Amino acid sequence: MGISLKEIIDFIKYIWPRRKTKHGFFLIIILIILLSRFLLPTNGLPQYAEFIFYLILALLFWLFWLFYSGRRAISTKKYIVAIALKSLDPNTQKIITTTFSKVSDKLKILNLLDLIKLKEIGVDIFNTKEEAEKFLLKREYSLVIHGTVYGGNENLKYKYDLKNFFYTCRLLNISNDSITINIFRNDMTLMIANREWIIEESNDFIDTDKVANNLVEIILSIIAISLSQSSEHLKLSIKIIETILPILQSKFDPNYKLPKENTRTLVPIDFIRSGRLRYILNNCYISIANNYIMSEEWPNALEIAKKDIRLVQIA
C-alpha cells in the first residue's frame, strides 16, 4: 500500500509545530526513513548495513536537533531570548512565527540584532517556571518567553490569544532573597501590563505588528533593567534604554505633566514606563560617570554628566 503526496504533506503539517519537541524528533526520524527508502538506493544493501545506515542518519540528525531545539547552545556574546510557545495547530504556529519574525525585523531596524538574538526552542524542555529558571541559568540565556497560544472563535471571528506568556529573566548580581528582586519583579509587571495581545485572523497583518511592538518593548526593557544591576554591563543597558525611551515617549503628549495636586487622575501607562526607565538610566549615568572620575577619564565623565543633565531637564 503506497503513501500519497497528500498524506506526506499532512504528516509534515502535523510535525511542524512539534518539530523541536522529543515527540517531533521521533516523528521526523520516521519521515526521514520513509523518504530515504523512496529516494535513496538502500534496497540492495544487506539488512545489517541498512540498519547501520539509518542509525548513523538518526545520530547525525539527533546531534543537529539538540542545537536546533535549544537543548544545547553554541557560546555567543549576544543576549539570547529563547521562545518556547506551544501551538496547537499549524495556523497558530504560523501566527507565532510571523509575530516573532516581525520582532526580529524591528530589532534590526533599531540596530540591536548584533546584541540580541531570538531563538525558538522546544516547548517540552520545561513545564514550570522553576524549571524554566534552571534551564535559563544552565544555558546562560538572557530571557525565556514561554506559554501557550490559543485560537478560537469569538463573535463569529477567529482570534489568537497571545496573553498567556510567562517571562523568565536571568538576573545579574541579584540574589533571590534580595530586596532588589522584588523591585525588578514590579518593573517586569509594569512593562508587561495593559497591552493588547489578541490577533484576529481577518486582521492579522495589523494585529501581529501591534503584538510585535509590545514584545520589542518588553524584551528590551526587561534586558536593559537586568543589565543595569551589573557595572560590567552598564553601557549596554544605557544603549538599550536610550533606544526604547523615544518609542515609549512617542505614545503620549510630550507636554504631559503629572498634576501637582494630590488628586486621582488617569496617568498614561507609557508615561509611567518611560519615567521608570529614565530613573534607571539616570542611575546608570551616575554610576558610569563615577567610574570615569575614579579612573580620571575627565572628558568621558563630562560627556556622561551632560547626558544626565539633559535627561533630568526632559523629566
Question: What pLDDT, on the 0 to 100 scale, is given for residue 232?
Answer: 87
State the pairing for strand pair 116-120/79-87.
parallel
Question: What pLDDT, on the 0 to 100 scale, is given for residue 315?
Answer: 56
pTM above 0.75, yes or no: yes
Give the per-residue SS3 of 27-55.
Answer: HHHHHHHHHHHHHCCCCCCCHHHHHHHHH
Summarised one tens digit per residue, pLDDT across range 108-139 is 999 999 999 999 999 999 988 889 988 988 88
- 95's grid cell: 501566527
Question: What pLDDT, on the 0 to 100 scale, is given for residue 314?
Answer: 61
pLDDT in tens, the chain (315 residues): 456 677 777 777 778 778 899 988 988 888 887 777 666 665 666 777 778 888 888 899 999 999 999 998 888 888 999 999 988 787 888 899 999 999 999 999 999 999 999 999 999 999 888 899 889 888 878 999 999 999 889 888 999 998 888 999 988 766 666 778 889 999 999 999 999 999 999 899 999 999 999 999 999 999 999 999 888 889 999 999 999 999 999 988 877 777 766 666 778 899 999 999 999 999 998 988 888 888 888 888 888 888 877 776 565
3 state SS of 175: coil
Summarised one tens digit per residue, pLDDT across range 258-285 is 776 666 677 889 999 999 999 999 999 8
Per residue in 44-81, is it b (16+ CB within 10 Å) or e — as a string? eeeeeeeeeebeeebeeeeeebeebbbeebeeeeebbb
Summarised one tens digit per residue, pLDDT across range 52-66 is 888 888 899 999 999
Q: Which amino acid would we find at residue 279? A: Y
Question: What pLDDT, on the 0 to 100 scale, is given for residue 1?
Answer: 46
Beta strands in the chain (DSSP E): 79-87, 116-120, 143-154, 157-161, 165-169, 198-200
Per DSSP, the residues of 283-306 read HHHHHHHHHHHHTT-HHHHHHHHH
State the pairing for strand pair 143-154/165-169.
antiparallel
